[in-house]
Each structure stands twice: as structure tokens, then as C-alpha cells.
């Protein structure tokens, strides 16, 4: 008789599948949640496209490899979230946040890409530890409120580290017994998905910046289409939920450029 995995593992999978169905139904019934998922998918699609291209140099390849990690983080967090593992889904977000901040460092100081790649453990701890990266970004940007540190600490306390506060993500919204295993909770789904979308937007913006050419001279039609798709979705999402103006005139300009390129090649 062929060996089989224990039945309980199949039963666990069946439970996860049922919860995922509840999660998808809740997302599709709420325009806000659906907007979050559309943004996350656009970011993942953008990273997938540009991370698979031939890198122009080892610096760009470094960004692509980090992009692959962020893609996996986004996929894993979304999967865990929709299957009812809210605490673990949120813990994965801390990894995305660390890479987003690291990309922010590289964006402001491109020479740091090589230094980070070639660093030993001591150098990474001295220069590139998350707290050191946040300190650099806050000082560079002139931010004194320490909001990056507050956001990072939230994911540490409630998700990545074993703390008493973290049990809030393992029990139903409003209180109740801690649940061992997956469960459906609309409040937790909404809260974690919002954080996932925010980090996806930040990750997409930084990642895109390492690959963008001048849009007005760029003749890479497929690349422009992928880039523009993420740009539009992110811009509209940020305008709707963050109050940041979306540059529709710029979008119209690039759309015309794309149409002209396609007409020229027809």
C-alpha cells in the first residue's frame, strides 16, 4: 500500500480552502478591499516583468533579486491572509518593509548597492541593520517624527516577535479565545490587507525607479505598458486612499506616446 500523508493535513487544507472562499467573497463585496488587491497584483506583475529581464549591470541585478524576494513576500502574505493566518501574514510584511527601506537607501545613495552586496556580517550590522537604515532615511528626508520606526515596531510587536500583544491577531476582532489554526475574520482581513497594499505601493514605486527610462524617449512598448499599468493603478489608489494627487495629464501623455509607437510599428 502506498504511503500517504496524515489525513489531518488534508483536513487542514480543506479548512484553509473554505476560509479562502469566505475571504474572496468578502473582498469582492467591498470595493476598498478589491482596490487593495488590484494594486497588489499590479505591483507583483510589474516586479515579475522587470525582474526577469537581463540586467544592465550587477547593481541592477541586485535590485532584481530583492524584487524577487518582495514578489514572494507579497504572494505568501496574500495567500496566508486569505486562508486565515493573519498573524503570519502580517509577520511577512516586516520583510517587505525592510526591503522597501533598503531600496530607499539605495535610491538616495546608489553606491550603497555595491557596499551592501559585498558587505560582511559586521558591516551589514553596522551600516545596513534595519534601525541604521531607518535612521539614515529619516535624517536624509528631514523627518523627526520617527514614523518609520513606529511602523516597524508595530510589525515586530504584533506579528514577527512572540509577544502578548501579538495574540490579538490570533483571536476574533472584538475579543474571544485565541484560535489555533486558520479562521475567518473580516476585521483582521481588512486591517492586514490595508497594510499589505500600502507596502505594495511603496515597493512598486521604489522598484520601478531602478528600471525607468525617460518615458518620452522610451520605445520599449511592452515595458511601457507594464510600467504604465502599475503607475496608473498606484496613482489612482494613492489619490483615493492617501489624498495624493494623481497626474492624469502625465498619464495621457504617455498613453499618446504608446499609441504613436504602436502606429509606427504597425
Q: Give the least confident one: 130-144, 152-166, 211-225.
A: 211-225
pLDDT at 217: 53
More confident residue, 109 or 213: 109
Q: Across all residues in the chain, what is the average pLDDT?
A: 94
Provide the percentage of residues in the chain whose pLDDT is more than 90. 87
For 9-26, what is the mean pLDDT? 98
Other C-beta atoms within 10 Å of 46: how many?
A: 26
pLDDT surpassing 80 at residue 219: no
Nearest Cα residue to 228 out of 251, 205, 207 = 251
The 10s digit of each residue's pLDDT in 184-195 is: 999 999 999 999
Angle of CA points 208, 80, 128, to nearest 5°? 45
The whole-angstrom separation of Cα 115 and Cα 123 is 9
First-to-final CA distance of the chain: 61
The 10s digit of each residue's pLDDT in 43-87 is: 999 999 999 999 999 999 999 999 999 999 999 999 999 999 999
Confidence of residue 213 (pLDDT cuts 50, 70, 90): low
pLDDT surpassing 60 at residue 152: yes
pLDDT surpassing 60 at residue 17: yes
For 81-102, what is the mean pLDDT? 97
Task: Say what the alpha-carbon torsion angle 140, 145, 147, 152 is, to the nearest 10 degrees.
Answer: 90
pLDDT at 218: 64
Confidence of residue 248 (pLDDT cuts 50, 70, 90): very high
Confidence of residue 264 (pLDDT cuts 50, 70, 90): confident
3-state secondary structure 24-41: HHHHHCCHHHHHHHHHHH
Confidence of residue 221 (pLDDT cuts 50, 70, 90): confident
pLDDT at 214: 52
Amino acid at each position: 500500500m502506498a504511503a500517504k500523508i496524515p489525513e489531518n493535513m488534508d483536513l487542514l487544507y480543506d479548512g484553509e480552502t473554505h476560509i479562502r472562499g469566505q475571504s474572496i467573497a468578502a473582498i469582492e463585496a467591498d470595493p476598498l478591499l478589491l482596490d487593495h488587491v488590484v494594486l497588489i497584483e499590479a505591483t507583483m506583475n510589474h516586479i515579475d516583468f522587470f525582474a526577469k529581464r537581463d540586467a544592465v549591470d550587477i547593481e541592477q541585478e541586485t535590485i532584481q533579486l530583492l524584487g524577487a524576494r518582495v514578489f514572494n513576500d507579497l504572494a505568501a502574505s496574500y495567500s496566508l491572509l486569505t486562508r486565515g493566518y493573519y498573524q503570519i501574514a502580517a509577520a511577512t510584511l516586516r520583510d517587505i518593509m525592510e526591503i522597501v527601506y533598503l531600496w530607499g537607501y539605495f535610491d538616495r545613495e546608489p553606491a550603497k548597492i555595491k557596499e551592501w552586496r559585498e558587505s560582511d556580517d559586521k558591516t551589514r550590522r553596522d551600516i545596513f541593520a534595519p534601525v541604521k537604515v531607518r535612521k539614515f532615511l529619516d535624517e536624509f528626508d528631514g523627518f523627526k517624527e520617527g514614523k518609520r520606526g513606529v511602523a516597524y515596531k508595530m510589525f515586530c510587536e504584533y506579528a514577527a516577535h512572540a509577544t502578548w500583544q501579538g495574540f490579538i491577531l490570533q483571536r476574533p476582532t472584538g475579543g474571544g479565545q485565541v484560535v489555533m489554526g486558520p479562521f475567518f475574520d473580516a476585521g483582521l482581513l481588512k486591517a492586514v490587507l490595508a497594510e499589505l497594499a500600502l507596502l505594495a505601493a511603496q515597493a512598486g514605486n521604489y522598484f520601478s525607479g531602478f528600471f525607468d527610462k525617460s518615458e518620452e524617449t522610451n520605445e520599449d512598448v511592452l515595458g511601457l505598458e507594464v510600467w504604465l499599468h502599475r503607475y496608473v493603478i498606484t496613482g489612482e489608489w494613492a489619490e483615493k486612499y492617501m489624498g495624493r494627487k494623481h497626474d492624469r495629464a502625465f498619464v495621457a501623455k504617455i498613453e499618446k506616446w504608446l499609441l504613436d509607437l504602436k502606429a509606427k510599428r504597425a
